């Protein structure tokens, strides 16, 4: 009975270092989350046959409906296995505890940055549940360097789904039966992509405005401290402590403003990714007008990359400024840590966005030059 049940489940294969540090992550966060949405979850060291790990890894990847690769600690075996997964064109999602562990070129693909802090660890489980649900119903696209830069490789035949797996997918689709939409064309993707870019631009503008506001307030607080120090009026320490408390309050207030932008930016970027991927993979440039539209869209992506870079530079500079405030008081230290955490999340998303734009510009150039 158990064997029959396993055959009806979709398969998820996890690539991560064979280390005690990662056992808890796999057993407590990754495995239960994907099992809850209908996957049989394994990693190489959980397979009974330990005599030939590489054989198990290769077969595990080939048979997987979803591959999860944890790039934390830059383990060479994991990166090697990730290359195999990309070559086999398996749907692959990347995880990391630190975005610094992800090479620039891979930041343009689906990366989940997670924390093992008690209050934040559940976010990884929820993200994997969402991805697992979308992946098994066929509603989530996964890019990789092989199919991006060698589009002819998309014709490579991969292992077909078993009848049981097809039944699972069809059952999932049946739950959300919707009228079939007409296939989108070049201009549909371009228009929807432009709307997403507009949403992304608004998010970055709000981030910049929030940083400018807090920078102005911090300068005002600094000027107040200098005046009090120079005045030599009794009670200087008490007055400075009050200013420090007000500074901490300002930082927390603006940290929350920036926090609100993170999911908005993330969602807008996923929409942009979906439309650009559709444009590159399913449409062709048939005439001069299409080519002009493609060139215009490329220019917009280039402007988006520049805007993303400017916002990213601003966030990095502001993060250093906030870190330099530590040591003033306990309130400021606490506020600084909170702001730094939120800035790290935004910086991670923006680094991925910048890398994605760089990749897309290359692909758009090839499409525009080769067609018509």
Q: 273: domain CATH number?
A: 1.20.1050
At 111, which helix (H) or strand (E)?
strand 111-113
- At 47 the pLDDT is 55
Contact yes or no for 89/146 (Cβ under 8 A): yes
Banded model confidence at residue 45, pLDDT cuts 50, 70, 90: low
Residue 118 lies in a domain: yes
Q: How many domains does the chain have?
A: 2
What's the rounded mean pLDDT across residues 179-205?
79
What's the rounded mean pLDDT across residues 137-162?
66
Q: Could you tell me which residues are beta bridge partners of residue 42?
A: 13
What's the rounded mean pLDDT across residues 132-151?
80
| Residues 166 and 198 occupy one common structural domain | no
Is residue 340 over pLDDT 70? yes
| Residues 249 and 310 occupy one common structural domain | yes
Banded model confidence at residue 19, pLDDT cuts 50, 70, 90: confident
Alpha carbons 181 and 287: distance in angstroms, whole number? 25
Q: Which of 40-54, 149-163, 277-291 has the lowest mean pLDDT?
A: 149-163
Is residue 26 over pLDDT 90? yes
Banded model confidence at residue 65, pLDDT cuts 50, 70, 90: very high
Alpha carbons 118 and 22: distance in angstroms, whole number? 15
- At 304 the pLDDT is 93
Contact yes or no for 193/275 (Cβ under 8 A): yes
- At 311 the pLDDT is 92
Q: Which residue has the higher pLDDT, 131 or 185?
A: 131
Name the pTM for this structure. 0.74
Alpha carbons 32 and 129: distance in angstroms, whole number? 9
Residue 181 lies in a domain: no
| Residues 160 and 208 occupy one common structural domain | no
| Residues 238 and 278 occupy one common structural domain | yes
Alpha carbons 58 and 20: distance in angstroms, whole number? 22
Apex 137 CA angle, 349 and 361, nearest 5: 40
- At 371 the pLDDT is 56
Contact yes or no for 19/82 (Cβ under 8 A): no
Residue 88 lies in a domain: yes
Location of structure tokens 């910086």:
347
What's the rounded mean pLDDT across residues 66-71?
95
- At 282 the pLDDT is 74
Q: In what order do the strands lie in the sheet with 66-70?
A: 39-43, 10-15, 66-70, 92-96, 111-113
Alpha carbons 93 and 96: distance in angstroms, whole number? 10
Alpha carbons 97 and 111: distance in angstroms, whole number? 10
Banded model confidence at residue 68, pLDDT cuts 50, 70, 90: very high
- At 95 the pLDDT is 94
Contact yes or no for 84/15 (Cβ under 8 A): no
| Residues 360 and 305 occupy one common structural domain | yes
| Residues 225 and 273 occupy one common structural domain | yes
Name, of 138-147, 170-179, 220-229, 356-365, the range with top average pLDDT.
Answer: 356-365
Domain finish residue from 150, 175, 200:
175
Average pLDDT score over the chain = 82
| Residues 212 and 167 occupy one common structural domain | no
Cα 369 to its chain centre, rounded Å, is 30
| Residues 264 and 129 occupy one common structural domain | no
Banded model confidence at residue 178, pLDDT cuts 50, 70, 90: very low
Domain finish residue from 175, 206, 234:
175
Is residue 86 over pLDDT 90? yes
Show the tokens assigned to 322.
């906030």
Q: Which of 173-177, 182-186, 281-285, 299-303 has the lowest mean pLDDT?
A: 173-177
The boundaries of the domain holding residue 78 are 2-175
| Residues 170 and 32 occupy one common structural domain | yes
Banded model confidence at residue 271, pLDDT cuts 50, 70, 90: confident
Residue 321 lies in a domain: yes
| Residues 116 and 224 occupy one common structural domain | no
What's the rounded mean pLDDT across residues 197-215?
90
Is residue 103 over pLDDT 80? yes
Apex 308 CA angle, 303 and 309, nearest 5: 100
What's the rounded mean pLDDT across residues 321-327?
84
- At 46 the pLDDT is 60
Encode 263-321 in three state secondary structure. Answer: HHHHHHHHHHHHHHHHHHHHCCCCCHHHHHHHHHHHHHHHHHHHHHHHHHHHHHHHHHH
Alpha carbons 23 and 26: distance in angstroms, whole number? 5
What's the rounded mean pLDDT across residues 87-111?
90
Domain finish residue from 142, 175, 208:
175
Q: Are strands 66-70 and 111-113 parallel, antiparallel or unpaired?
A: unpaired
- At 4 the pLDDT is 45
What's the rounded mean pLDDT across residues 280-294?
80
Contact yes or no for 11/64 (Cβ under 8 A): yes
- At 160 the pLDDT is 42
Banded model confidence at residue 288, pLDDT cuts 50, 70, 90: confident
Is residue 155 over pLDDT 80? no
Is residue 296 over pLDDT 80? yes
Banded model confidence at residue 225, pLDDT cuts 50, 70, 90: confident
| Residues 120 and 12 occupy one common structural domain | yes
- At 143 the pLDDT is 78
- At 2 the pLDDT is 45
């Amino acid at each position: 009975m158990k064997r029959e049940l396993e055959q009806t489940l979709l398969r998820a294969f996890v690539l991560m270092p064979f280390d005690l540090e990662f056992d808890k992550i796999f057993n407590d966060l990754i495995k239960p989350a994907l099992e809850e949405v209908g996957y049989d979850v394994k990693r190489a060291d959980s397979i009974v046959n330990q005599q030939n790990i590489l054989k198990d890894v290769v077969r595990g990847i080939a048979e997987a409906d979803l591959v999860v690769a944890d790039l934390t600690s830059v383990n060479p075996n994991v990166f090697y296995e990730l290359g195999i997964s990309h070559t086999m064109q398996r749907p692959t999602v990347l995880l990391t505890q630190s975005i610094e562990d992800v090479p620039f070129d891979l930041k343009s693909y689906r990366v989940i940055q997670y924390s093992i802090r008690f209050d934040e660890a559940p976010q990884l489980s929820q993200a994997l549940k969402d991805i697992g649900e979308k992946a098994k119903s066929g509603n989530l696209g996964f890019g990789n360097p092989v199919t991006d830069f060698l589009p002819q490789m998309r014709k490579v035949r991969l292992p077909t789904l078993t009848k049981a797996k097809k039944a699972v997918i069809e059952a999932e689709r049946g739950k959300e039966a919707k009228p079939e939409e007409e296939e989108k064309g070049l201009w549909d993707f371009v228009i929807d992509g432009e709307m997403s870019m507009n949403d992304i631009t608004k998010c970055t503008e709000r981030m910049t405005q929030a940083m400018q506001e807090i920078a102005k307030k911090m300068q005002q607080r600094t000027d107040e401290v200098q005046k009090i120090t120079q005045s030599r009026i009794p009670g200087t320490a008490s007055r400075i402590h009050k200013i420090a408390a007000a500074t901490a309050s300002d930082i927390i207030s603006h940290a929350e403003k920036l926090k609100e932008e993170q999911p908005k930016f993330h969602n807008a970027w996923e929409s942009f990714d979906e439309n650009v991927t559709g444009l590159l993979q399913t449409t062709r440039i048939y005439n001069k007008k299409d080519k002009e539209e493609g060139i215009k869209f490329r220019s917009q992506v280039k402007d988006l990359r520049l805007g993303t870079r400017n916002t990213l530079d601003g966030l990095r500079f502001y993060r250093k400024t906030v870190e330099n405030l530590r040591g003033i008081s306990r309130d400021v230290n606490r506020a600084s840590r909170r702001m730094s955490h939120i800035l790290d999340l935004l910086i991670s998303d923006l680094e991925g966005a910048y890398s994605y734009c760089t990749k897309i510009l290359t692909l758009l150039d090839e499409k525009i030059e080769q067609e018509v």
